[in-house]
Structure 1
Amino acid sequence: MEGSGNSLAQPSTKGAHILVIRLSAMGDVAMMVPVLSVLVHTYPNITVTVLTRGFFTPLFSHLPNVRVYEADIKGVHSGVMGLGTLAKELRDEEIDMVADLHDVLRSNILKSVFYLYGIPCKQIDKGRSEKKALTRENNKEFKQLKSTHQRYADVFNELGFPINLSNYIPPQKRKLIPKVYEVIGKDSRKWLGIAPFAQHDSKCYPADLMEKVIAELSGRGSIRVILFGGGDEEREQLEIWENKYDNCISVVGKLRFAEELSLISNLDAMLSMDSGNAHLAAIYGVPVISLWGVTHPYTGFKAFNQPMGNCLLPDLDKYPKIPTSVYGNKVPEGYEDVMRSIPPEMVLLKINEVLNN
């Protein structure tokens, strides 16, 4: 990738301090990690401050010269006045420039205040018109769009710090602390993570079909199935499967986020929906098998460096309107059960292929 010729590139030799804004959600924040890793290894003199939720701090703990500044958007940083306070706090951290990887109302308010402070800010191009063309029902332009990871990288290019994402090297597996072993146990079986939930039901594999997958895997005895999720309803469902099937355990509510990351980094594979856990596993180079409903990898949210062959899709001949939306929040009539066109046998075949590769 060629440089932009932007004068903003000059601070790269002076140890520029870049503020990176991405407040939520987990998957979008996780997708920043490979990009920031390449950035700080390409430009080891820079400092990066990530403005996000404090919960996400463990995601960046392995990256040199990267720290998290917690945005208390429900407390002291709430509202326009609170965001003004936040902008002043960040200015006092002596930031030189801003990479807004979110482009929402809050980040735009911050951008306006930074402008008054004379701090340059570049924002992500989310490709909204392209995504609209891809997801519309009629005259759909069905083609692969730029990945979100590359859209993030383009912002740094505009700031004068071009990066090549093909240079990404996954971090080493995190050391498993005793707490993880207490929950999972120690054995030599393959560890398969399964994250069966997503923000929208349209992106979740039907529970009865997922149970068939879990039952088959459990019966083999050679695979340790580790279930990931969050929230009371998800916890209850996973506990039912944990109690019903041998070689199957839920970690919901049993591990802190940092501990969960260390576990994910040691998986042999992850089976996930189009959701955050796919992106968490991809950080560590863990093979990810993803199941897609009314969304599609072409929107740019495929897990980083994962082959398209690991993305299992519904029958697109039967459901030609897919993708119906970017986030899975639009389900046309008759598209409620698109994921039932992905048979459990197909999922199991792909799991076998990945684990035996």
Structure 2
Amino acid sequence: MAKPTHILVIRLSAMGDVAMTVPVIGILAQTYPDVKITVVSRPFFKPFFKDIPNLNFLEADVYGEHKRLGLLKLAKEAQEFGVDSVADLHNVIRSKIITKYLKLKGLKTATIKKGRAEKKALISAKGKNISQLKTTHQRYADVFGNLGFPIDLKNFCAPDRKPLIPKLNGLIGVEPKKLIGIAPFAAYDSKMYPLNLMAEVLRELDKKDMYRIFLFGGGKREVKQLQQLENPFTNVTNVAGKITFEEELTLISNLDLMLSMDSGNGHLAAMYGVPVVTLWGVTHPYAGFVPFNQPAQNQLLANREKFPLIPTSIYGNKFPKEYKNAMQTISPKTIVEKIFDLLK
């Protein structure tokens, strides 16, 4: 079989997982500039891939036009783009249907190995003698390697900061201050730093008067909570509900640092090469979901002497009742000192 010239890359959800594909695909495009890439994902994620050369985006409407047998229509649309190979970075029923159809049509295919057995063993170890698993980014890279396109993740070149529009310049202000993003929410409470402690972090950062701090989130409940966090502080701005998603990405690309939970916003910042400090509750960096290119010293963990069973789950959805507040053992002082150190 001839070496492919046009790769269909499938990753339909979730936001953080799709964001994690971006630096890997960027390195692929940089390493093999003659190879065409078509990414199939949900329309909301299209802006992620805007800066990658030689890349098309195919919108997947998996709850409408491309539902069930509509996935075959999606596969045919990909064929019309001229793809001759498939990199399935998702390995779920939907992506398997597309991959299988195109394989039957003679296309070369490769599918991510998620390492489910290793991840299960990591949790089953109950915190004893745990070690680092292969990162999700490397798992993505391995798929391209299996198609004949090996890549080295060390070759990442961060994209330029996106040009700021007047609306964002207005939020940032004219004073030359370092820009910090804070995304305090996560899918599960066990992965979320208590908001009263986050307020203490904000208080220490705000009183320095050296930083502009932006709060990120979504949904009515989160917006209301962020407004309450914002109110007492001069240098803190809640941007949730005030700017579009594309504007949010532009702002993130201009940050000097992002403070995030084990959640999607950390991955959004990392895909622009922004330093990310990540707070970990009942999950753990060893599972392979550390934001791209972020060093171990940027990962702040709950106290494992008090909570020795961590990680209790890969995604934060399973934990003993008494572990729900494990994150409280990361002190605001520790977080603030880490930020000060990185922004020196």
Q: Common fold, TM-score beyond 0.5?
A: yes
Aligned to 1:323: 311
Equivalence map 1:210-229=2 (5 Å): 210-229=198-217
Question: What secondary structure, in the 3-state scheme, does the structure 2 residue paired with 1:193 have?
Answer: strand
Aligned to 1:340: 328
Q: Distance in 2 between matches of 1:257 and 1:18?
A: 27
Question: What secondary structure, in the 3-state scheme, does the structure 1 residue paired with 2:97 have?
Answer: helix
Q: Distance in 2 between matches of 1:33 and 1:256?
A: 20
Aligned to 1:304: 292
> How far has the Cα of 1:141 moved from its partner?
5.2
- The range that moved more, 26-35 or 86-95, is 86-95
8 A Cα contact 2:29 2:54, kept in partner: yes
8 A Cα contact 1:184 1:249, kept in partner: no
> How far has the Cα of 1:87 moved from its partner?
1.3
> How far has the Cα of 1:219 moved from its partner?
1.8
Q: Distance in 2 between matches of 1:261 and 1:285?
A: 13
Output the aligned Cα RMSD.
1.3
Q: Which runs of 5+ in 1 are unaligned?
A: 1-6
Q: Which runs of 5+ in 2 are unaligned?
A: none
Q: 2:47 aligns with which of 51, 58, 83?
A: 58
Q: 1:143 aligns with which of 112, 122, 131?
A: 131
The one-letter code of the counterpart of 1:39 is: L
1:191 is the counterpart of 2:179: yes
Residues 83-109 of structure 1, C-alpha deviation per residue, up to 9 Å, x if partnerless?
A: 121112212222100000000111111
Q: Distance in 1 between matches of 2:249 and 2:61?
A: 23
Aligned to 2:235: 247
Q: Distance in 1 between matches of 2:126 and 2:327?
A: 22
Aligned to 2:110: 122
Equivalence map 1:104-119=2 (5 Å): 104-119=92-107
- The range that moved more, 220-229 or 112-121, is 112-121
Percent identity of paired positions between Structure 1 and Structure 2: 54
Q: 2:63 aligns with which of 67, 70, 74?
A: 74
Q: Distance in 1 between matches of 2:126 and 2:259?
A: 32
Q: 2:30 aligns with which of 41, 45, 58?
A: 41
The one-letter code of the counterpart of 2:48 is: L
Aligned to 1:4: none
The one-letter code of the counterpart of 1:316 is: R
TM-score, normalised by the number of residues in structure 1: 0.94
Q: Distance in 2 between matches of 1:259 and 1:333?
A: 39
Q: 1:207 aligns with which of 185, 192, 195?
A: 195
Question: What secondary structure, in the 3-state scheme, does the structure 1 residue paired with 2:39 have?
Answer: strand
> How far has the Cα of 1:115 moved from its partner?
2.4
Question: What secondary structure, in the 3-state scheme, does the structure 2 residue paired with 1:312 have?
Answer: strand
Residues 172-212 of structure 1, C-alpha deviation per residue, up to 9 Å, x if partnerless?
A: 11111112123333321111110001111111001111111
Aligned to 2:15: 26
8 A Cα contact 1:137 1:324, kept in partner: no
> How far has the Cα of 1:140 moved from its partner?
5.0
Q: Distance in 2 between matches of 1:89 and 1:123?
A: 20
> How far has the Cα of 1:137 moved from its partner?
5.1
Q: Distance in 1 between matches of 2:263 and 2:232?
A: 25
Aligned to 1:233: 221
8 A Cα contact 1:190 1:222, kept in partner: yes
Residues 253-300 of structure 1, C-alpha deviation per residue, up to 9 Å, x if partnerless?
A: 122222111111111111100111111111222111110011111000
> How far has the Cα of 1:116 moved from its partner?
2.3
- The range that moved more, 107-116 or 269-278, is 107-116
